[in-house]
Chains A and B, each alone.
Chain A
Amino acid sequence: MGQDKPVVDGKALPLDDIIVEIRNMTFTRGSRKIFDDISLKIPRGKVTAIMGPSGTGKTTLLKLIGGQLRPDTGEILLDGQNIPKLNRKDLFIVRERMGMLFQSGALFTDMNVFDNIAFPIRVHTELPEVMIRDIVLMKLQAVGLRGAVSLMPSELSGGMARRVALARAISLDPDIVMYDEPFTGQDPIAMGVLVNLIKRLNQALGHTSIIVSHDIQETLSIADYIYVLSDGKIIAEGTPEMLKQQDSEQVRQFVDGLPDGPVPFHYPAPDLLDELMAGGVFK
């Protein structure tokens, strides 16, 4: 933080053209503070990554932006509209501008691939079926699965299901596409395909991408700007190059994948010797 102005592809990152802005947001779950007064900006039309170790609230952040959760305090602005303050009806209208790729794909299991992708179009537009067919086929062509149009979700592999879910997420050409751990559990080929797709779609469709991930190499290769979360705070931000040059121990541990460091390998526990010497049975 506090470094030179971020530059992407030789151009300054448009941090004055912001589509999503989070201001002084605090979010608590039970007695645990997930976010402690964080602020961040998502630039329009770019790929922004939210990274950090497991359990730091990356997926929670996407749910907060999508209005599925409400923060305790602070604002989440989408083009000036404060998401937490919207009523249910307005929230559903705003969500038409968002697409989300869930970690599990979340395809509707009672519909085939075609109907899954056609679903948002049928719900939100009055386009004739002939046109819907063409749009669905184009979206499937973009993710390379036009041949799988008639398959049921149970017939798809994990990577294919995620690509179909991606086609569904972009079916209405949203302004923002949020990716929740898109690379988790994928084989190297599927991962490469997804990395390529996210970057290509972002460039071709011009939407804003927000990626939540802890797959460092893949995310660094496509992100324009990165926020690193830990312990409810943003511990680093910047372009991939800026992040690689960070000196902070916490950031280095995460970027270099070190098993121990500021984020300890061991979950907090009493001294091992004391516990072994105490004897007795486990309660």
Chain B
Amino acid sequence: MILDNIQRLGHRTLSKCAAFGRSGQILFQSIVARPAPMMMLPLLIKQIYFIGVLSLVIIVVSGAFIGMVLGLQGYTILVDYGSEQAVGQMVALSLLRELAPVVTALLFAGRAGSALTAEIGLMKATEQLASLEMIGVDPYRRIIAPRLYAGFICMPLLSMIFAVVGIWGAAVVAVDWLGIYSGAYWANMQQAVDFREDVINGLIKAVVFGFIVTWIAVYQGYDCVPTSEGISQATTRTVVYASLAVLGFDFVLTALMFGDL
């Protein structure tokens, strides 16, 4: 009984190691074997549209509501201390440092990540990937690389859009509705936000999260069992693994960037 459990544990550990190796191989091959620029550009633009542009609605709507909630919560807390003028500062720092990259990455994993996994998984199930190979076209180049690069490019842009819309959403609530002086809202924000410390660090987080989410999504699609159940499980795994990885890496990055370590 104990020996069986040890054997099972060993087997699982080995298969996880093998899966990690395969995912590393996919990443390496896709980055090394990226298509020539003239071939890459149309594929990249198409993927930026599917991954980035089509995610805009959920990002803008979520950003606006999260900004509005932040403005409202910030006001109700800060007004007790007579510091409601600092709402702009609080909203901007929360969004730029944390909420924009993290929430965007979570939404990105749910919308674009799951779509990437399902699309690649279905291509595998319908033998389209095998067909590409037999035509003499490397699927890493044609299918995986453009999606990976599109993910790297879109995530930081979506995160910036999220932060901007969130700040505007908070302004609508705090300034237009609750009556905070708009000069104080914007001036406090301008004074408190440091471009390198806050904006650039937020962007670095977004780039890292974009990399993680897209990598997990394409790997899960490419490595899935090519059946309807296999694709459904791979899609679920993409959202769960990507979300957990984003939250875990967020702590590590925050500790490195702002933890004075």
By a CB distance below 8 angstroms, the chain B residues around A66 are 133-134
Which of B126, B127, B136 lies in contact with A120, CB distance below 8 A?
A: B136
Contact A106 B133 (CB under 8 A): no
Q: Say whether chain A's binding surface is mostly helix, strand, loop, or mixed.
A: mixed
Contact B133 A119 (CB under 8 A): no
CB of A132, distance to nearest CB on chain B (Å): 15
Q: Report A98-118 CB contacts with B as 1/0, cut-off 8 Å.
A: 111011101111000000000
Contact B127 A106 (CB under 8 A): yes
Which of A88, A95, A103, A104 lies in contact with B135, CB distance below 8 A?
A: A95
Contact A106 B131 (CB under 8 A): yes
How many of chain B's residues touch chain A, expressed as a range?
A: 10 to 19
Q: Does B7 contact A (CB under 8 A)?
A: no
Quick one: given A102-B131, A104-B127, are A124 and B136 in contact (CB under 8 Å)?
A: yes
Give Cα distance in the complex from A168 to B128, angstroms. Answer: 13
Contact B135 A119 (CB under 8 A): yes
CB within 8 Å of B: which of A20-68?
63, 66, 68
| Chain A residue, CB-CB nearest to B135 | A120
Contact A92 B131 (CB under 8 A): no
Q: Report A209-252 CB contacts with B as 1/0, cut-off 8 Å.
A: 00000000000000000000000000000000000000000000
B128, B135, B136: which has the most chain A beta carbons within 10 Å?
A: B135
How many of chain A's residues touch chain B, expressed as a range?
A: 20 to 34
Q: Say whether chain B's binding surface is mostly helix, strand, loop, or mixed.
A: helix
Give Cα distance in the complex from A63 to B130, angstroms. Answer: 9
By a CB distance below 8 angstroms, the chain B residues around A106 are 126-128, 130-131
Q: Report B142-177 CB contacts with A as 1/0, cut-off 8 Å.
A: 000000000000000000000000000000000000
By a CB distance below 8 angstroms, the chain A residues around B137 are 92, 120, 123
Q: Does B138 contact A (CB under 8 A)?
A: yes
| Chain B residue, CB-CB nearest to A102 | B127
Give Cα distance in the complex from A154 to B133, angstroms. Answer: 22
Quick one: given A106-B126, A109-B128, are A96 and B136 in contact (CB under 8 Å)?
A: yes
Contact A98 B126 (CB under 8 A): no
CB within 8 Å of A: which of B103-136?
126-128, 130-131, 133-136
Q: Does A93 contact B (CB under 8 A)?
A: yes
Contact A68 B135 (CB under 8 A): no
Q: Report A55-98 CB contacts with B as 1/0, cut-off 8 Å.
A: 00000000100101000000000000000000010001101101
B126, B127, B131, B137: which has the most chain A beta carbons within 10 Å?
A: B131
Contact A123 B136 (CB under 8 A): yes
Quick one: given A68-B133, A95-B133, are A88 and B127 in contact (CB under 8 Å)?
A: no
Contact B134 A95 (CB under 8 A): yes
Contact B136 A100 (CB under 8 A): no
Give Cα distance in the complex from A230 to B122, angstroms. Answer: 32
Which of A63, A95, A103, A168 lies in contact with B136, CB distance below 8 A?
A: A95
By a CB distance below 8 angstroms, the chain B residues around A95 are 133-136
By a CB distance below 8 angstroms, the chain A residues around B127 are 102-104, 106
By a CB distance below 8 angstroms, the chain A residues around B138 are 88, 92
| Chain A residue, CB-CB nearest to B141 | A92
Give Cα distance in the complex from A168 to B127, angstroms. Answer: 14
A sample of 24 inter-chain contacts (CB < 8 A) reads A63-B130, A66-B134, A68-B130, A92-B133, A92-B136, A92-B138, A95-B135, A98-B134, A100-B134, A102-B127, A104-B126, A104-B127, A106-B126, A106-B127, A106-B128, A106-B130, A106-B131, A108-B128, A108-B131, A119-B135, A120-B135, A123-B136, A124-B136, A168-B135
